[in-house]
C-alpha cells in the first residue's frame, strides 16, 4: 500500500465525489467546510489555500481506497489529519486502519513530525473505535465541538504520538 498525491484536476475529484454521496458522510468528512454536494472548485481552493495542507489518496495495488489531508501544525510539531474518507464499498474491511498507517508513516517518516492529531464526531462510533484501535487517544482537555448551521456537533480531539 502507498499514498499518492490527490490531483483535483483529474478524475480524482470524481472518485472523491462518488464516495461523498450522502449528507451524513459529507458532514463526517468535512464538518460543513464545503457546500453539499461537493464541488471541484471548493475542494481545489481549500487544498491550494495553504502551503501546509497536502491531499492524498491511499492506494492498494492499482485501487484507490481512501482520501485524506495532512495539515502541518508548526507550533506543536504535529500534523492534523483531516477529511478522511474510505470508499463506501469496502468499509468495515480494515482499510481505515491501512489508511491511518499510511497517514502515520507520512507524518512520522517523511514530514518528521512528533504527533498526528484529528477531530472526530462523537456520534461517529465506527471511526472513533478505529482511531482508538490504532493508538489514538482522546484529549479530554481540548474542546473540538463545532457549530454547523446553528447546531453544536460534539467532537473529540485525538492524538497519537510517535514512539
pLDDT band at 142 (very low <50, low <70, confident <90, very high): confident
Q: Say how far apart CA 73 and CA 36 lie, in whole Å.
A: 27
pLDDT band at 38 (very low <50, low <70, confident <90, very high): very high
pLDDT band at 22 (very low <50, low <70, confident <90, very high): very high
Q: Say how far apart CA 77 and CA 83 lie, in whole Å.
A: 20
Range of the domain at 140: 2-161
Can you give the CATH number for the domain in which 24 is found? 3.40.630.30
- pTM strictly above 0.85: yes
137-138 and 146-148 beta bridge pairing? unpaired
CA-closest candidate to residue 146, choices 28, 43, 49:
28
Q: Say how far apart CA 43 and CA 8 lie, in whole Å.
A: 8
Residue 65's DSSP bridge partners are none
Q: How many domains does the chain have?
A: 1
2-5 and 151-153 beta bridge pairing? unpaired
pLDDT band at 163 (very low <50, low <70, confident <90, very high): confident
Lowest mean pLDDT, pick from 61-65, 88-92, 109-113 = 88-92
**Cell (9 digits) for 162:** 510517535
**Model confidence at 128: pLDDT above 90:** yes
3-state secondary structure of 152: strand
Contacts with 28 (C-beta within 8 Å, 6 or more apart), sequence order: 121, 124, 127
Amino acid at each position: 500500500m502507498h499514498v499518492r498525491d490527490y490531483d483535483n484536476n483529474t478524475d480524482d475529484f470524481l472518485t472523491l465525489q462518488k464516495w461523498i454521496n450522502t449528507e451524513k458522510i459529507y458532514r463526517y468528512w468535512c464538518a460543513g467546510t464545503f457546500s453539499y454536494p461537493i464541488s471541484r472548485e471548493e475542494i481545489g481552493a481549500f487544498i491550494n489555500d495553504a502551503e501546509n495542507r497536502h491531499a492524498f489518496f491511499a492506494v492498494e495495488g492499482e485501487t484507490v481506497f481512501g482520501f485524506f489531508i495532512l495539515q502541518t501544525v508548526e507550533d506543536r510539531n504535529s500534523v492534523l489529519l483531516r477529511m478522511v474518507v474510505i470508499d463506501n464499498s469496502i468499509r468495515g474491511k480494515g482499510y481505515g486502519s491501512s489508511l491511518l498507517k499510511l497517514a502515520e508513516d507520512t507524518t512520522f517518516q517523511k514530514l518528521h513530525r512528533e504527533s498526528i492529531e484529528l477531530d472526530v464526531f462523537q456520534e461517529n462510533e465506527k471511526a472513533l473505535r478505529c482511531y482508538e484501535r490504532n493508538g489514538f487517544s482522546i484529549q479530554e482537555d481540548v474542546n473540538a465541538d463545532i457549530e454547523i448551521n446553528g447546531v453544536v456537533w460534539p467532537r473529540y480531539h485525538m492524538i497519537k504520538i510517535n514512539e
